[in-house]
Amino acid sequence: MSAVENVPLEIVEEVEVMSKEEVLNFLIAIGVNTCNRSYDTDHKELKSSFLEMSLKDIAPTWDNLDDAVRIAVLNAHLDEFKAWVEGK
């Protein structure tokens, strides 16, 4: 009998699995964060395309975006943001 067979089993709590949508949004945020720190032309175009998306489409990624990207989103949608703050 080997030492491995004598190892007591451990009860491990079941970890909640992320939904497909959560995984995709997290990966999108990681990609945009990476593009923001890149000098590559393709990455800059990807970031620009992301910033041009509607705020509704950007919102699910918000919690995982770097602060610099969040500021870029606000700058890209400044009129919408001001209207929201002013309650219009």
Tell me how many domains the chain contains.
1
Full DSSP string of 5-55: GGSPP---PPPPPPPHHHHHHHHHHHHHHHHHT---HHHHHHHHHHHHS-H
Using an 8 Å Cβ cutoff, are 69 and 36 in contact? yes
Give residue for tokens 């699995």: 17
Query: What predicted TM-score, i.e. pTM, was given to this entire model?
Result: 0.75
In whole angstroms, give the CA distance from residue 80 to residue 73.
Answer: 11
Residue 61 maps to a domain = yes
The boundaries of the domain holding residue 77 are: 24-85
Residue 33 maps to a domain = yes
Distances (CA, A) of 15 to 12, 18, 61: 9, 9, 22
pLDDT of the chain, 88 residues: tens digit per residue: 555 677 787 887 878 888 999 999 999 999 999 999 899 999 999 999 999 999 999 999 999 999 999 999 999 999 999 999 999 8
Residue 14 maps to a domain = no
